[in-house]
Structure 1
Amino acid sequence: MGHVQWARDLARTLLEEPLPRRWAHTQGVAEQAASLADVLGEDDTDMVTASAWLHDIGYSPALAVTGLHPLDGARYLREVLYADERLCCLVAHHSGALVEAEERGLREDLAGEFGLPPEPLLDALTYSDMTTSPDGGRLTVERRLSEILERYSPEDLVHRAITRSSPALTAAVRNVEERIAKLG
């Protein structure tokens, strides 16, 4: 549980004041991740929940360097805080980050610096992010993807990246939903 408290405190410091809506989203993502305990088991739930708290810290004005928030956040965690490597990789690769990295010309940087985390953990983090609204509420993956696309014009690289990664994001959510259904 040490990772979770530390991650929550760090995220609060970096997001709460400068980016209150992002902070609300982050709280919702972490709550969703913590709800997966029956699916993930205790250790993996702690790791996914900690990564949920930290997944968007790269948006913080104090950390934003490249414009690719997963890379900026993961670099900060690794290079400044010497965080657990699995945690860094989850933050680096969350929610289709490789596709956005490619759109930004940073795919080699992201892929070269951070290995892919175990798929069940990455799916759980993606599920948590892609079923949480910008204000921290619950929604379907379809509505979340639609909401993101509505915020960006079709010419914007985020719009292109989400359009390209939508099948993989939806599949990750479905993988977790299937695991939840098997338990119920």
Structure 2
Amino acid sequence: MSLTWARAVAEEELASTLPRRWVHSCGVAHRAGDLATLLGDDADLLSAAAVLHDVGYAPRLARTGFHPLDGARFLRDEHGGDSRLVRLVANHSFALLEAEERGLRAVLETEFPLLEDQQLVDALVWCDMTTTPDGEPTSAGERVAEIVSRYGAESVVGRFIRRAAPEIFAAVERVEAALAAQPR
């Protein structure tokens, strides 16, 4: 499954119905390009997951109302998506914690187990959590604050993101340390 395919699928599902979500997804994919030398052979996989990570928000795909699960099922069931790609989409940005808030953790863990490649998982967190809803780069702290502000601190998403924040910040720090350690 190529990056061209992934971009076409994401655009088809998001561009007309959720244009801001599409712009965010494009920004996340752009950030993935910044990690290409760090990830080597997995750079295209990261870029594909980045552009597809929010596809489950598409109105026609929303079954459970939990976009990582809905998106991963769509990619698996309608497109025969690569297992690693589908699992990245399903588990992006500590989705297990949000799944727990929604009573869906066991479902997500069973259908889409976490990848064991911490660098790849961290890379997608970094891409998503350092990109604004308008596709622009930001800090992870500003992104978490924006999410809490948009959804409300006591909403399901607000509770999840506050719980996930320490893990998000740690993942972002690991990626930024790896980037800083690369030869220039």
Q: TM-score, normalised by structure 2?
A: 0.97
Q: What does the per-residue CA deviation read over 1:62-98, in whole Å, with 9 as the maximum and x for residues that have no partner? A: 1011111000000111111111000000000001100
Aligned equivalent of 2:114: 116
Corresponding pairs, count: 182
Aligned equivalent of 2:5: 6
Counterparts of 1:54-69 in structure 2 under 5 Å? Answer: 54-69=52-67
* Unaligned runs of at least 5 residues, structure 2: none
Give the SS at the match of 2:179: helix
Query: What is the alpha-carbon root mean square deviation over aligned residues?
Result: 0.8
Q: What does the per-residue CA deviation read over 1:101-142, in whole Å, with 9 as the maximum and x for residues that have no partner? A: 000000000001011112111100110000000000000000
Instruction: Please say if 1:90 is aligned against 2:88.
Output: yes
What is the deviation of 1:154?
2.1
What is the deviation of 1:155?
2.0
* Unaligned runs of at least 5 residues, structure 1: none
Residue of structure 2 aligned with 1:72, choices 70, 73, 77 = 70
Give the SS at the match of 1:62: coil
Query: 1:77 is matched by which residue type in structure 2?
Result: L
Counterparts of 1:15-164 in structure 2 under 5 Å? Answer: 15-41=14-40, 43-117=41-115, 118-164=117-163
Query: 1:108 is matched by which residue type in structure 2?
Result: A
Query: 1:134 is matched by which residue type in structure 2?
Result: P
Give the SS at the match of 1:139: coil
Q: What does the per-residue CA deviation read over 1:36-82, in whole Å, with 9 as the maximum and x for residues that have no partner? A: 111111x2110000000100000000101111100000011111111
Tell me the distance in 1 between the aligned counterparts of 2:140 and 2:77.
33
Tell me the distance in 1 between the aligned counterparts of 2:154 and 2:177.
34
Give the SS at the match of 2:93: helix
The percent identity for this pair of structures is: 51
Give the SS at the match of 2:94: helix
Tell me the distance in 1 between the aligned counterparts of 2:121 and 2:156.
23
Q: What does the per-residue CA deviation read over 1:10-56, in whole Å, with 9 as the maximum and x for residues that have no partner? A: 00000000000000100000000011111111x21100000001000
Query: 1:143 is matched by which residue type in structure 2?
Result: E
